[in-house]
Structure 1
């Protein structure tokens, strides 16, 4: 296993549990899990995969809120978070001693991995989970963010997650603030943008987080954990070219395999599904693992054209400062539909309901955006 992030960690845990006699190594150049908070709806996890996810959950809630300039709502749906520290703790506890190998990969082939320090690991198969491929091959928008944990001297009063607070000033595309109450005096605050540009000024967003906290009247004593990221929001692209951008001879997982939600950029539900799929396989030889991961990723990409269509309209037809109206309209829909959307499992009826009624973007602009997205690059 190359990469000890979310996708690599989950596959390693699943394979170690289901194939205890298999010798397994996770090569990670930094630290298992990195520096992240991953969140998901309980409905994102299939019943058969709960055994894998439950030990990783750090925080859980029974409802969440959304807030827009013209609309606010509490939705009753179980919501969960996993921290990178918890992922690392479980990986180190459940994998055999020595299974996590610290090092930087110099060369990877199906039968061996050579590290920069000269060590060589002989393998029967390699699964590459070292982050995204060449995103320049895809037409993209971006979801970018900076998040911090704020520690307050008095209770902050946030009872459950606020998945979107879009009442903030709209700038650099669609902006919202995301809140996770880790405790009465501990609150994760993330400033997030659906933007046309991947440019991210971390210090500026930290200042906006501080200003948001001040406006809420939260007495912040200190901050801990700062994380940032730029996630791809896929408008269009050729899956096979993307897969080949990191080589065609290795099996792949996570972002490297294109296994992420085209609209949100989130990869946790897909990482769970692939981990379960790999762990359930009887044959984990190189040819079988390559075939399994490629076919699964290609099929998943084909099935998600609807989300790329929505992204095309969001980024190509909606004015940046008016994009919040698209999400404001979306969150008025049935909560079960919303959950299926985040899990990338929208039904045909869901798709019709999302697009039906008053168009969230001008029709003429939507048509031009779709035509432009389908044009060859």
Structure 2
């Protein structure tokens, strides 16, 4: 390193941090960036997916250089009383391809791996090694922090990439197979359960067992056994595991967002990614929102640190306001639906017009969309729905 001050230091090399670094480099190649990641790779061990209708042309261009899997023949959902094929294309990006793509696209001296951070402030970042990285602006993109200021439940999952000895015969993704038994993961109370399937190649498939659960416990043995059972029921039990992914994500249904930001923020440091509130409150999808945010930050790349922090906070607050409908649906799911009937919430939702469904996932629901979601015969009793909408929910702590 030359000793020249870094223009923008980005702490956290996950999806949000990596995309911000790439967008800034594309828009301002003269900027000196530092993408600081505590682990040995960028992106961790994840698979991010999105619908073809989620991104703007600019967003598509940002992701175009990455290797990914595309499906343009729609996707399926399956429930006890409904099965439907929707037309939107679907995309999926593995973290290994995200890592290799960023290493190819960013200048070599931009990426700092195995660099855990001790402290950060408006003037830069101090690593645990004692090294100080002075920066004009600092953006904190580290993981979400559970907080008593927010309420909701959890999305708990385990996914397995299988290589099969013969073709599986599935031609398009299955976003939700909720015909499975509605079991809760051990220790987590009630849950809405579904299986998510991505046909990655003719003889490769990704299968994920997912729960919208009251608790955040991840029982690896139990979820692995349920994946074994599901694979066996489809004739995939001889498949060779090529990778595994687990996760526990927040499903935010309410809270005091201003207090949350104050509790996790640092004066003069911008907050982005899930820690900054940039996720879909109900689905926990992050990619379309991360892309939008990266492009918006890149358009403001010349801002000083305090101005960048203020800009990101304003965007976070605007995102919180516009996603209120999704938090309301989350309260219906966790607080109004009887535990064994949570599946009814999503089964009813997938009977709505296809354009509404697409805008829902992209966090672009219109006022008519919101009214359409709420009117009609509800899948829960009216008194339970009223209590849920008025309630605070369980703290995400």
TM-score (norm 1): 0.97
Give distance in 2, aligned partners of 1:292 and 1:209. 43
- Structure 2 unaligned regions, length at least 5: 1-9, 185-190
Does the C-alpha gap of structure 1 residues 315 and 19 become closer, same or farther in structure 2, counting only changes over 3 Å? Answer: same
Match of 1:332 in 2: 351
Pairwise CA distance, 1:136: 3.0
- Number of equivalent positions: 377
Which of the numbers 88, 92, 97 marks the counterpart of 2:99? 88
Measured in 2, the distance between the counterparts of 1:29 and 1:374 equals 33
Shift of the alpha carbon at 1:282? 5.0
Match of 1:66 in 2: 77
Contact 1:133 1:243 in 2 (8 A): no
1:164 aligned to which of 176, 196, 206: 176
- The 5 A counterparts of 1:285-296 are 285-296=304-315
Aligned partner (choices 167, 190, 193) of residue 208 of structure 2: 190
Quick one: distance in 2 between partners of 1:344 and 1:282? 25
TM-superposed CA distance for 1:33, in Å, is 0.9
What are the Cα deviations for residues 261-295 of structure 1, in whole angstroms up to 9, with x where unaligned? Answer: 11111211110011000111252320221111110
Aligned with residue 46 of structure 1, among 44, 56, 63:
56
Q: CA deviation at 1:134?
A: 3.6
Tell whether the 8 Å contact from 1:106 to 1:114 is kept in structure 2 after alignment: yes
Mapping of 1:1-377 within 5 angstroms?
1-30=10-39, 31-62=41-72, 63-102=74-113, 103-172=115-184, 173-249=191-267, 250-281=269-300, 283-373=302-392
Consecutive unaligned residues in structure 1, runs of 5 or more = none
TM-score, normalised via structure 2 length:
0.92
Give the root-mean-square deviation of aligned CA atoms: 1.6
User: Is contact 1:114–1:121 with CA below 8 Å preserved after alignment?
Assistant: yes
C-alpha distance in 2, partners of 1:369/1:348?
A: 21
Runs of 4+ in 1 over 3 A off after TM superposition: 374-377
**Using the alignment, how far apart are the partners of 2:262 and 2:97 within structure 1?**
33
Q: Deviations over 1:330-369 (max 9, x none)?
A: 1111111101001111111111111221111111011112
Q: State the alpha-carbon separation in 1 of the partners of residues 237 and 326 from structure 2.
A: 40
Describe the shift of the 1:282–1:258 C-alpha distance in structure 2 as closer, same or farther (beyond 3 A). closer
Against the structure 1 CA distance between its residues 233 and 375, is the aligned structure 2 distance closer, same or farther, given a 3 Å change threshold?
closer
Shift in Å at residue 374 of structure 1? 8.1
1:242 positional shift: 1.2
